Structure 1
């Protein structure tokens, strides 16, 4: 029977190496029958068979079953660890390069088994148990994969300091673990400290070189780019990524990072071009496509967004980005309940997907659920503090209203992004919500415009402030001054709104039509024009809109994938 067990183990190892987990699991049931029936088999040999069976179960994604089997194997190892090992070799030879076996010269690598137990815990979202198991592996015995997994676990559970140490160790083991470089940048490690982890001795080119193909220099550029993005220096990040793109043309990672940075600084046309080019290179990529969906919504491109969501669902419906894009689509269709359903679906797939919380927060605000919005934006901020989460928090707190908390969030944004006109505008928005704070609000808006004269958010905020103070003519003059040098559809739309509010309906009509001639997909202009037409007919547009909104809501509607067509 012993020789037959050895044959089955060898065959299971072969099946596992071929990735035939279903066949390996079926064969494993027969192996385990023989193992349990053979009372003469040594505990170590039993454990070796169990680990092979556990590997088959893990490959089939039966993580709880695998966890149970691995634990039994580890108990057998520990029970016999103090007993002298037999010098006889088993027929199952050591295969250090194979992930299928934890056998090494007839000894079991207990650290490898602990790691597999940790992976099972991680697969069933028991991160604390996974962390506890993997911390039991001595630091000197940890492989690169172990260190990277441990770093991710520390970060998930909020232990940023030890996560940073683990990511550093990953780069010492291999400087090309690019996700470790990105993580360190996001954790606030200065780029020069990341540079110090690279093997400087590799480079034989002068330190003054800017050649990105130098083995070290391009890694430094990569770190610099992500460090710039992490500190909200989007223009600096673009400079570094564009420099890399000259040596690594048509690189999807660089194109997507560029697109997101361009979105952050309101270069939406450039961002759209970067996203489109990335899709031309790799039409099946899903990473960052939820960000592209948000851009398409902002641009009012219904058809392209519809097409994008349909394609993403067909590519891989198990990714969180797909359902964020779906949520954005239904939000654009004004079906807020269905949009919220999809945002929640994305979070069930991955409860650490930042953009899902941002979208959920925005939808909650439109549904007049500011407390739920605060929770969503807070979670987004904890995962990745960017302007969108700060803006959402401020809007949500003002809607409750909690002005003190709104001001704290805005000032936190200003501290994180001291050179950002958007952050200054955010502080101004909080002051503008109070009649007594409007002078302060004006100063913040004017400071934002001095810092970034082309930021329309500050222009619109200042125009709205003038409108609140009854200074309509000043608001109109401000917007007209910008229109002289910048023929922008959003400027025409804002000017049309102010004219409509002051009953200058003819001027309002002209600017709405001009906005739509520049950008036919401008939703704000379309809706404004519809309201204006009702005003010109003597109909109350608000009463009708409220009725239509109530009629259009269907809280019981099920989200069907086919409806994206």
Structure 2
């Protein structure tokens, strides 16, 4: 679970799958494995994991969390929120259950209730990053930007200036035109802390694109290819090359993005519109892989050396309304909508 808590999804997935294979009857950290399957949109794997957990016990929150994830991926939102509520009822201190229910409520635009669940998760597990992320998202959806800035700023102090906390802070700062430069500096600090943290890389790439610094954005993304691939990474590169009318490189990365989208990847599967043109100039190797039009060297960017300024956190704590009791624990069929 250490990798998962640190946000290292690739290593977490490998370790958690291995642990589950060795002891299928243990539900320890299985909810975390389910979260990764959900993020990766691996519906079949999530379905099998949920069915196995239900066979082990129905009195733990874990099976209901997995069922909620499965229903949500299957576009059965009513059942998803019911199962999430069931999980929280069985274990009010389940951080994964609170995070899941908060996320579902946020999607349903039940913003006050979502914020309440994220705050409860934060009180139970103040060292977890996800409650801060959820609370920031809730406040931003309510247009309470100052509260969102306060929470994100506190995350960098309570969790440390990690790549995740800094990126969260920067993402809020970037919503205000007056704070774009500061947000950019925070992102550069995040990448200095963890050079291959894609959320920070993508946000900084967006800033470079807005500044029409195409080459700088391409350098930033290309550096990632030395250690990782992925649909989103190649799709971003394809778009940037397209803006420069470098069609061979653009088609090459579009093809790779489509390949990753078909296979699935940790961190979310990306849907790529359209097919790959037969006249793209991208060849196939004998092993079925894609052959690039050339083999460019990965450019090296100068190291960032930025400090994060503290922001005034005088807004104080924010009171939220209580969640009304609107759920029933009656029978709920899992089949059909």
TM range (shorter): 0.7 to 0.9
Cα distance, 1:527 vs structure 2? 5.3
Q: For 1:378 and 1:502, how far apart are their aligned partners in 2?
A: 45
Does 1:491 find its partner at 2:264?
A: no
Does 1:416 find its partner at 2:155?
A: no
Does 1:276 find its partner at 2:12?
A: no
1:109-258 → structure 2 map (5 Å cutoff): none
Relative to 1, partners in 2 of residues 1:340 and 1:484: Cα closer, same or farther, differing over 3 Å?
A: same
Partner-residue secondary structure (3-state), 2:67? helix
Match of 1:384 among 125, 133, 137: 125
Does 1:394 find its partner at 2:167?
A: no
Cα distance, 1:511 vs structure 2? 3.0
Q: Which residue of 2 aligns with 1:528?
A: 271
Q: For 2:202 and 2:266, how far apart are their aligned partners in 1?
A: 17
Indicate if the aligned counterparts of 1:497 and 1:528 stay in contact, CA closer than 8 A. no
Partner-residue secondary structure (3-state), 1:318? coil
Q: For 1:399 and 1:332, how far apart are their aligned partners in 2?
A: 22
Indicate if the aligned counterparts of 2:99 and 2:130 stay in contact, CA closer than 8 A. yes
> TM-score, normalised on structure 2?
0.73
Unaligned runs of 5+ in 2: 276-330
Does 1:346 find its partner at 2:87?
A: yes
Q: For 2:93 and 2:268, how far apart are their aligned partners in 1?
A: 35
Q: Which residue of 2 aligns with 1:302?
A: 43
Q: Which residue of 2 aligns with 1:515?
A: 257
Match of 1:358 among 96, 99, 103: 99
Q: For 1:527 and 1:331, how far apart are their aligned partners in 2?
A: 17
1:86-101 → structure 2 map (5 Å cutoff): none
Q: How many residues were matched structurally?
A: 280
Indicate if the aligned counterparts of 1:515 and 1:522 stay in contact, CA closer than 8 A. no
1:110-159: CA deviations, max 9, x gaps? xxxxxxxxxxxxxxxxxxxxxxxxxxxxxxxxxxxxxxxxxxxxxxxxxx
1:241-290: CA deviations, max 9, x gaps? xxxxxxxxxxxxxxxxxxx2112334333222322222233211123211
Q: Which residue of 2 aligns with 1:428?
A: 170
Does 1:560 find its partner at 2:333?
A: yes
Partner-residue secondary structure (3-state), 1:528? coil
Does 1:374 find its partner at 2:118?
A: no
Q: For 2:164 and 2:209, how far apart are their aligned partners in 1?
A: 20
Relative to 1, partners in 2 of residues 1:522 and 1:451: Cα closer, same or farther, differing over 3 Å?
A: closer
Q: For 1:508 and 1:494, how far apart are their aligned partners in 2?
A: 9
Does 1:293 find its partner at 2:293?
A: no
Relative to 1, partners in 2 of residues 1:500 and 1:409: Cα closer, same or farther, differing over 3 Å?
A: farther
Cα distance, 1:367 vs structure 2? 2.5
Cα distance, 1:446 vs structure 2? 0.3
Q: For 1:387 and 1:437, how far apart are their aligned partners in 2?
A: 23
Q: CA RMSD in A?
A: 3.1
Q: For 1:475 and 1:415, how far apart are their aligned partners in 2?
A: 29
Indicate if the aligned counterparts of 1:515 and 1:525 stay in contact, CA closer than 8 A. no
Higher relative helix content: 1
Q: Which residue of 1 aligns with 2:62?
A: 321
Q: For 1:333 and 1:508, how far apart are their aligned partners in 2?
A: 33
Cα distance, 1:323 vs structure 2? 0.9
Cα distance, 1:376 vs structure 2? 1.4
Q: Which residue of 2 aligns with 1:331?
A: 72
